[in-house]
């Protein structure tokens, strides 16, 4: 089994040689796999909504907040990894084996802080992953429409819902190696396509850059950026798929630094070229002329969204399997059948709220703020509040923050900042914006932000 190999590294190396052919594409547990998983999982369709966020908050704020939330996101991913290692070390001292069991974040919270925290972690994480999957479906429909508008976006959502349901057959995160690798290639291509296409297009005649103009739009944009760097709801599952989870600590930061090279140039160039037009075009593809390059970017993003759907859904599948006692079943087919009920509500929600862009901010403010920033920081403060816990800690504070006090201060700052700015102001702004979309386009909107029919253009 995959899990044994981590404990028995020597045995692992022998098996690794045998499984090399199979292994290169399928069975990954190295530091590089984890890096690819994190980086490709962090930006998918968000890449297409960042120019929209820049138009809401202006260039300077856009750049500063990306750097700020990127570093804050890396910090909380680091905290999650520390807590995971702590939990695992404590459990392995009690001779608990994780041979056929994938450790998840809520179990870490349960083991370190008890059932209340487990319930909190589970509620926020599952809701976030549910909506994360919904967002991928909306994004698929929104993108394909720019290549083929024979069907409206809602019809495309039906089609892609059916395609994405096939992810029930992918057993676990070990099996995503080649996909993460390709996924990162796809977002890299798309980011540079957006950057270069915007620069070649040049500034639109009479382009206006009025952002930031409205407070609610400003904080909606800020929350989308909070969401961008809060892609680590699956951090624990990615770590668990590593042979040596201790090595995870800085991987997230390295992944984020790479992601900056994609998000900053593409959002800045698009905003520079199109300015305020982006306020009503939350999908960056919609403003660029149709070329082979754009079609390629759309197709690559579609494949990537399918992969990200699998990424966001797999932890939900695990939780559901544990609820219905099917997590240890060997039969892939039985597990696939068990998992199907998870896909149905996702499909339904994507059809009800097809608001590409605004939904990212709403999810960011109401769910990501807690799942990814507030809960890990609070959990770390509580886990190490006693002197004995600090003394026996599996991981000591990092080199650049020598003391526990410094860590405590940083964590307290994260909690307060994200609660006030992310959840408070961001929640108010993004929900206001979301309701505005419902009022403008209605629920079950057939074709969200689609250009008017050709006949209307001649007037």
The pTM of the full predicted model, rounded to 2 decimals, is 0.85
12-16, 340-344, 423-427: lowest mean pLDDT where?
Answer: 12-16
CA distances from 40 to 116, 314, 402 (A): 32, 16, 32
The 10s digit of each residue's pLDDT in 56-82 is: 999 999 999 999 999 999 999 999 999
Indicate if the pLDDT at residue 105 is higher than 80: yes
Residue 353's φ and ψ, nearest 5 degrees, are: -120, 75
How would DSSP label each residue in 164-176? HGGGGG---GGGG
Per-residue confidence band for 335, with pLDDT thresholds at 50, 70 and 90: confident
Going by pLDDT thresholds of 50, 70 and 90, the confidence category of residue 174 is low
At residue 28, the pLDDT reads: 59
pLDDT given at position 424 = 96
Q: Chain-wide mean pLDDT for the chain?
A: 86
What does the pLDDT read at residue 456?
A: 42
pLDDT band of 309, cuts 50, 70, 90: confident
User: In the prediction, which pLDDT does 192 show?
Assistant: 97
CB 377 within 8 A of CB 121: no
pLDDT digits (tens, 9 = 90+) for 411-445: 999 999 999 999 999 999 999 989 998 998 888 88
How far apart are the C-alpha atoms of 182 and 251, rounded to whole Å?
18
Residue 455 has pLDDT above 60, yes or no: no
Backbone phi, then psi, for 211, in 5-degree steps? -65, 145
Is residue 450 within 8 A of residue 151, CB to CB? The reply is no
């Amino acid at each position: 089994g995959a899990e044994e190999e981590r404990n028995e590294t020597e045995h692992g190396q022998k098996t690794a040689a045998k499984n090399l052919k199979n292994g290169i594409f399928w069975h990954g547990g190295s530091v590089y796999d984890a890096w690819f998983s994190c980086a490709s999982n962090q930006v998918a369709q968000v890449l297409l909504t960042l120019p929209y966020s820049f138009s809401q908050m202006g260039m300077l704020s856009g750049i500063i907040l990306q750097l700020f939330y990127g570093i804050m996101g890396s910090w909380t991913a680091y905290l999650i990894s520390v807590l995971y290692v702590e939990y695992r070390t404590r459990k392995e001292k009690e001779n608990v084996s994780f041979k056929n069991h994938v450790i998840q974040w809520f179990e870490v919270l349960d083991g370190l802080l008890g059932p209340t925290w487990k319930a909190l972690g589970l509620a926020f994480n599952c809701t976030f992953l549910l909506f994360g999957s919904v967002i991928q479906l909306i994004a698929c429909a929104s993108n394909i429409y720019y290549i083929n508008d024979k069907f409206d976006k809602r019809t495309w959502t039906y089609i892609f819902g059916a395609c994405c349901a096939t992810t029930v057959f992918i057993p676990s995160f070990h099996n995503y190696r080649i996909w993460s690798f390709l996924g990162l290639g796809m977002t890299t291509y798309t980011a540079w396509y957006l950057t270069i296409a915007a620069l070649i297009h040049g500034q639109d005649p009479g382009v206006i850059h009025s952002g930031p103009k409205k407070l609610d739009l400003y904080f909606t944009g800020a929350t989308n950026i909070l969401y961008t760097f809060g892609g680590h709801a699956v951090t624990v599952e990615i770590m668990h798929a590593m042979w040596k989870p201790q090595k995870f600590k800085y991987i997230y930061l390295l992944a984020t630094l790479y992601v900056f090279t994609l998000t900053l140039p593409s959002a800045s160039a698009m905003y520079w070229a199109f300015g305020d037009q982006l306020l009503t075009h939350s999908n960056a593809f919609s403003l660029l002329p149709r070329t082979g390059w754009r079609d390629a970017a759309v197709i690559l993003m579609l494949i990537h969204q399918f992969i990200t759907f699998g990424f966001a859904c797999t932890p939900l599948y695990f939780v559901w399997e544990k609820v219905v006692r099917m997590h240890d079943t060997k039969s892939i087919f039985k597990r696939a059948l068990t998992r199907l009920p998870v896909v149905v509500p996702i499909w339904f929600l994507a059809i009800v709220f097809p608001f590409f862009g605004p939904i990212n901010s709403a999810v960011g403010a109401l769910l990501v703020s807690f799942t990814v920033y507030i809960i890990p920081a609070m959990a770390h403060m509580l886990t190490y509040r006693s002197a004995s816990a600090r003394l026996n800690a599996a991981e000591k504070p990092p080199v650049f923050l020598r003391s526990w006090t410094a860590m405590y201060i940083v964590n307290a700052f994260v909690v307060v900042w994200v609660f006030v700015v992310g959840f408070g102001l961001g929640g108010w702004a993004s929900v206001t914006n979301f309701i505005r979309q419902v009022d403008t386009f209605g629920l079950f909107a057939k074709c969200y932000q689609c250009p008017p029919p050709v006949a209307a253009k001649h007037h």
